[in-house]
Each structure stands twice: as structure tokens, then as C-alpha cells.
Chains A and B, each alone.
Chain A
Amino acid sequence: MLLTIENLRVSYGNIKALHGISFQVDEGEIVCIIGANGAGKSTTLRAISRLIPVEPGSKITFDGKNLLDYPADKVVAELGISHVPEGRRLFENLTVMENLRLAAFARKDTAGIARDMERVFSIFPRLKERINQKAGTLSGGEQQMLAVGRALVSARRVMLLDEPSMGLAPLLMMDVFKALKDINKEGTTILLVEQNARMALQFAQRGYVLETGNLVLEGKSEDLLNNPDVKKAYLGG
């Protein structure tokens, strides 16, 4: 197992967001987590990328190493886990190019960086047109492209995606997911969080269902897609 989460507990002040969830992601897999608003999906991703502290007793192992030993920037730089955060969180005062260059901050391989940038531009040609525009003035969808682009440049082993489809036009959404599939084929493991459960399950191999801080279901995507409870609650009947 590449990524093993055991008994993960997180709280925001007095609000308990995760009550001790455990799950695994294998090398090369696409796994998705679905759940209602406020279930704790984003919190899970934030905990893995060490943006928020976890409570004692939680364990996260990555590739045999204790992930909790690494601070947030090392999780990206040394473990190779990148994260497209909820709400994009671009550096709106910097240009598109600067955002991408920053994403490669910890990387030393100039050639590799150049290759990855090209790749981003080939997936999202729109970004290339906007290369010197400040990220803050991009349209919502363009911003989402840039957010995914940044993750592609910053680290390639595992990608944590938080609602990448939000605000994307249907056609573009297809494009993004196709690109993600390609990236996965090249060996990047993907952990995806989505509101659009149907889309997510069609895209992923396995899925977990999160409800108010607890994992209530897990299984192969097809199984979940056909599960009546899931259908009722998350697929719009």
C-alpha cells in the first residue's frame, strides 16, 4: 500500500470533523471519496498534506514512512504528494506563469520542469494564452485549470484533488478528467474528492463514502454506483 490512513481524527477547535477514519490507496490507483457537504472530505485531504494538525493516535503512512514526520512543504517536496485545494487558492497577485513556476519551487530538474509545464499547456491551451495575466483576473474555470496545472508541476507521485469539477463547463470537465486519466496512466496515484459523485465514481476504480466524519461504505466503483443507498443519497435518485 502506498498510502495508509489509520484512525485519522481531526477537529477544528471544538468541532470534531473526522472521528477516526481508516483507508488505503494503492500505487497507481484512482480512489475517490464522496459525501455530502461538510462530511469531512476536504478535511481528510488537508490532514494528508499536513495543512491542519491531526489528533494524537492518528496514523498516516506513506510508502513505509511516517508521513506525520514531514511538515507540509516536505510532504510535497520530498514525498511527492501534491494537493489541489478546495476553492483553488491561487496566488491571485501573481501571473499564470509565476504561479506555475512557484509550484516547481522545490524541484531541481530544470528539464523536467519544462516538460511538465509544456504538458500543462497542452492539456489547457487556454492557460498558454493567458500566460502573463494575473491569476486573480482569470475566469472561474481558467482558475481551476491553473490549480490543476500547479499540482501537475509541483509533484507527480500522488495527487490529491479537491472538487476539480467545481465551476467547470461540461466539455472542459471531460477534458480535465481525460487529462487526469492520462496522468494516472503515467503512474500518478490520484485521490479524488467530489460532489459530483456519479462522475467521480465513473472515473475512479474504488470509492469511499464519508458521512459526518465517519467512513460508512467502501467498494469498487461499479458496486457503489449500483448501491441503492448511494444512488438515493448521492446520485440524485
Chain B
Amino acid sequence: MTTETVSPPSTRQRFRAALLKAWEPYRSVPLLGWLVAILVAVGLERLVGLPLAYLLGMSKVPALLGVVVVLSDPIRIPSVLIYILLIYVVPIGLVARFTAPLFNRIAAYLMRYPLLVTALVHLLLLYADLHLWASISDYRILVARLTMIAIIVTLSLNLVNGYMGEFSCSHPGFMALGAYTASVFTLVLFVNDNRFGEAIFPPSWGPYFFPVGLVLGGVVSAIGALLVAIPSFRTRGDYLAIISLAFMFVVKSLFENMEVVGGARGVANQPDYATLPIVFVWTVLSVWIMNNFVRSTMGKALNAVRDDELAATAMTVDTRKTKMVAFLFAAFWAGVAGGLFAHVLHYINPDTFGIRKLAEVLAMVYFGGLNSVTGSIVGAVSLNLISEALRPLEIYKWIIIPIMLILIMIYRPTGLVAFTEFEIEKLFLPKGETSKGAGHGTA
């Protein structure tokens, strides 16, 4: 018995229809086509970006699609728009549209190979896009790395808050556990540092063992998660919310009191292991694994537990185990993300992992969309970019972002793109009428 709003006004519908019509030709562009088109655009930017920027009266290639420039220097708006149009929109549009048949054929051809091959081809292209785009400036690289880490955190929190329908507040704590563990791991073993002394192994080994440190961080935070999970999953209700909140305070306070890791001053000097490709690989891995999980019956059991726990148990679902697994799993990834985060910033302190981080991560989850892998990516990327872009607004940034979020919540209460996962197989399919048969034949 819910009260739904009446159908939207017709002007909006007409606008939508026009938009859809303009979009029509692009429906038949496969993912491959888009990736190549973007590659062309970022390649173009490398070649002529700077001269074009000079020509338009800017001293630099606009970072983050020019939003930063626009806000700090509104006279530049036309220049930025022209730049974006010439470098991104037009090339991508043209290439995507006119190469669509070609790439549909290639995509269909790729379908003959195992999924892994197709996936690798796409990932390589995606990374090439990212690399070319970001390496124009260190600022872009930093933002790209932080954004990808945010994707891991957001997705892992979505497992708990979206898929499992609990309200967990402990993610900053898990990140802290991962960040500290990974930092101590690399600093003790591979870095000559005045806190932990001489490196035990040759520093050049560090990058190769970095994954071990990250996994270790993930494991430690999963163990921490056990402390939260055992009491909270004994009964139903909002206990997780409160116990996890307490846990977050406990972790923060614990590190503040641990002199070995610098107490409130934190730990610095983490080596630069979390480079763009490394973060990219971990992000892809985490998205792939979490996406796999939520699409399996084991993962769907989370939804069953959320929607009706009693029914789930009556249908043989081991609800306690299901919740535990998902929660520890989510904590693991938050820990990994924390480890990466520490190595991107080269500095962490307990204060980084407090209430504010919590508000940020929660915002990303709910902005992007509950119960949704795509949504988590959308949420993490958009909020990170928006918050970087709005920096020139100083104080008003923290009025505008919350207002935006409230509006999203009011008009789309479950977030922008809720309840969607990738079907990896379908993602790579060729598009449009030419390919219908091909897709089904191989899927």
C-alpha cells in the first residue's frame, strides 16, 4: 500500500524522447568501440591538447574536464567547453559512431575465444585509456588512484549496506586496519626508516611483495570484522549499526594509543608502490570478485536474508554463515583499499579514519545506488570527481554536495543506479541488429 507519484509531465517525456532519438545511433556501439574511441580522444589530447589549450587562452590542459577551471575562473567557461567539445565529445562521438560496424565485427570475432581473452583485451584498452588520460598530469594520476580506491571501498560497503541490508559504520575502521598493517609490513621489511629501522629485505623486492602486504591488511581487517560480526549477528535489528560504530571508535582510539605506529601522529614514508597500474589491477580484481559473488546463489542469499530472514532460513539458507561471510569479505576489501590508500598518500594517521571518512563512504554508496555494483562505481567516481572539482568553492562545497545528495535521495531513494550488477559476458557482446545472432550463439 504505497502511495506512488502520478506519471511525469509530458514535456519531460518529450525531452526524453528527443534525447533517446539522438542517442539511437550510438546504441549499436559495442564497448570495444567506446574504448577505442576514448583512446583516440585521449591520444589526441596528448598530441594537441596543450597547444589547443594555449590557443584558447588557458595555460594548461584543463584537469578533470575543466570543472575546476570553470569554478575558479568563470570567464574561461567558453574555452573549456570548446576544449571538451573538440578533444573529447566530437572525436569520441565520431569514432564511436563510424567504427561501430567494424568493432561489432571484431567483438563478434572475439566471442569465439574464451571469455578471459575478451576480457583481457577490453581491460588492456581500458587501462590504456586511463593511462593516457591520467599521465598528462600528476594531479590526474592522484585523483584517478584515489577514485579507484574509493570504488573498492564503496563496493565493499555496498555489500553490507545494500546487498545485506544492514547498516554498517565500521568501514573506516577496516580501512585503518588494512592501511596500518600494509604500512607496517612494507616499512619494516623493505624500507630504511627511522621508526622501524633498517629494511630486513632489499628494498627492491618491495613492489613484488606489496600484494602480500595488502592481502595481509585485508585479512587483519577481516579478523577485526569478526569482532563486530559475532555479537551483531546473534540477533536481528540495528545492532550492527551500533556495534560497528563503536568498533570504528575503538580502532581509531587504538591506533591513537599505539606508540609503535606513531600514535596520533601516524605513519609516514610508505614507498610509492601503489602506482596507477597497480591500483587499477586491484580495482579490477575486486570488482570482478565481488561481482561474481553477488551474482551467485550464495551471494543472492544476502538479498534473501535482507528481504525476509525467516523465509531464508526456512529455505535452507544458513543465514548466520551468509552474513558472516559477506561481512568479513567486505571488510577484507576495505582493508585492501586501506593498504592501497596508505601507499598512495605515503601517510596515514588515525584521524583519517574517523566519522568524516564514514560520512564520505556512506555518501558514495547511497549516491551511486544500493545493491548495485554499477552504482558503487558510479557513486565513487562521481562523488570523488565532484568533490575535487568543487574545491574552489571552499566552504560552499560542503553545502552543495549535501544538497545534491539530499535531492538524489528524495528523487531516487535507493540511489542513482540501484539494483544492477554487470553480466560480464553481456558487457562485451557486439551490439545492434547485426550481432543478435552472434551474441546468443556464444554466450
A-side residues, CB < 8 A to B, are 11-14, 46, 51-53, 55, 85-86, 89
Is B204 engaged at the interface, CB distance under 8 Å to the other chain? no
**B1 and A13 contact, CB distance less than 8 A:** no
Q: Which of A46, A51, A55, A86 contacts B6 (CB 8 A)?
A: A55
Residue of B nearest to A85 (CB): B1
Tell me which residues across on chain A come within 8 A of B7, comparing CB atoms: 11, 13-14
B-side residues, CB < 8 A to A, are 1-7
**A51 and B4 contact, CB distance less than 8 A:** no
**A53 and B3 contact, CB distance less than 8 A:** yes
A200–B6 CA distance with the chains assembled, in angstroms: 33
Residue of B nearest to A12 (CB): B4
Tell me which residues across on chain B come within 8 A of A89, comparing CB atoms: 1
A85–B2 CA distance with the chains assembled, in angstroms: 13
Chain B nearest Cβ from A136, distance in angstroms: 13
**B1 and A46 contact, CB distance less than 8 A:** yes
Tell me which residues across on chain B come within 8 A of A14, comparing CB atoms: 7
Beyond the given A13-B4, A46-B1, could you list 4 further A-B residue pairs with CB under 8 A, ordered by the A residue number? A12-B4, A53-B3, A85-B1, A86-B1
A53–B3 CA distance with the chains assembled, in angstroms: 7
Tell me which residues across on chain A come within 8 A of B4, comparing CB atoms: 12-13, 52
Tell me which residues across on chain B come within 8 A of A53, comparing CB atoms: 3, 6
Can you report 16 A-B residue pairs in the complex whose CB atoms are below 8 A from each other? A11-B6, A11-B7, A13-B4, A13-B5, A13-B7, A46-B1, A51-B1, A51-B3, A52-B1, A52-B3, A52-B4, A53-B6, A55-B6, A85-B1, A86-B1, A89-B1
A55–B6 CA distance with the chains assembled, in angstroms: 8
Residue of B nearest to A72 (CB): B3
A217–B275 CA distance with the chains assembled, in angstroms: 74
Chain A interface mostly helix, strand, loop or mixed? Answer: loop
Residue of B nearest to A14 (CB): B7
Chain A nearest Cβ from B412, distance in angstroms: 14
A55–B4 CA distance with the chains assembled, in angstroms: 12
Chain A nearest Cβ from B246, distance in angstroms: 26
A116–B136 CA distance with the chains assembled, in angstroms: 79
Chain B nearest Cβ from A140, distance in angstroms: 16
A12–B7 CA distance with the chains assembled, in angstroms: 9
Name the 6 nearest CB pairs between A and B, nearest first: A13-B4, A12-B4, A52-B3, A51-B1, A53-B3, A53-B6
A13–B1 CA distance with the chains assembled, in angstroms: 13
A86–B3 CA distance with the chains assembled, in angstroms: 15
A76–B297 CA distance with the chains assembled, in angstroms: 47
Chain A nearest Cβ from B238, distance in angstroms: 15
A53–B4 CA distance with the chains assembled, in angstroms: 8
A52–B5 CA distance with the chains assembled, in angstroms: 9
Chain A nearest Cβ from B413, distance in angstroms: 14
A89–B2 CA distance with the chains assembled, in angstroms: 13
A89–B1 CA distance with the chains assembled, in angstroms: 10
Tell me which residues across on chain B come within 8 A of A51, comparing CB atoms: 1, 3
A13–B2 CA distance with the chains assembled, in angstroms: 11
Tell me which residues across on chain B come within 8 A of A46, comparing CB atoms: 1
Chain A nearest Cβ from B418, distance in angstroms: 16
Chain B nearest Cβ from A158, distance in angstroms: 19
Chain B nearest Cβ from A96, distance in angstroms: 22
Tell me which residues across on chain B come within 8 A of A11, comparing CB atoms: 6-7
Tell me which residues across on chain B come within 8 A of A86, comparing CB atoms: 1
A86–B1 CA distance with the chains assembled, in angstroms: 9
A11–B4 CA distance with the chains assembled, in angstroms: 8
A111–B7 CA distance with the chains assembled, in angstroms: 47
Tell me which residues across on chain B come within 8 A of A85, comparing CB atoms: 1
Residue of B nearest to A13 (CB): B4
A14–B5 CA distance with the chains assembled, in angstroms: 10
Tell me which residues across on chain A come within 8 A of B3, comparing CB atoms: 51-53
Tell me which residues across on chain A come within 8 A of B2, comparing CB atoms: 12
Residue of A nearest to B7 (CB): A14
Tell me which residues across on chain B come within 8 A of A52, comparing CB atoms: 1, 3-4
Residue of A nearest to B3 (CB): A52
Chain B nearest Cβ from A111, distance in angstroms: 33
Chain B nearest Cβ from A13, distance in angstroms: 5
Chain A nearest Cβ from B49, distance in angstroms: 46
Tell me which residues across on chain A come within 8 A of B6, comparing CB atoms: 11, 53, 55
Chain A nearest Cβ from B4, distance in angstroms: 5
A12–B3 CA distance with the chains assembled, in angstroms: 8
Chain A nearest Cβ from B94, distance in angstroms: 37
Chain A nearest Cβ from B370, distance in angstroms: 19
Chain A nearest Cβ from B414, distance in angstroms: 15
Chain B nearest Cβ from A139, distance in angstroms: 17
A52–B4 CA distance with the chains assembled, in angstroms: 8
A12–B5 CA distance with the chains assembled, in angstroms: 8
Chain B nearest Cβ from A193, distance in angstroms: 14
A51–B6 CA distance with the chains assembled, in angstroms: 14
A11–B5 CA distance with the chains assembled, in angstroms: 9
Tell me which residues across on chain A come within 8 A of B5, comparing CB atoms: 13
Residue of B nearest to A52 (CB): B3
Chain A nearest Cβ from B360, distance in angstroms: 33
Chain B nearest Cβ from A180, distance in angstroms: 23
Chain A nearest Cβ from B353, distance in angstroms: 37
Chain A nearest Cβ from B218, distance in angstroms: 40
A85–B3 CA distance with the chains assembled, in angstroms: 15
Residue of B nearest to A46 (CB): B1
Tell me which residues across on chain A come within 8 A of B1, comparing CB atoms: 46, 51-52, 85-86, 89
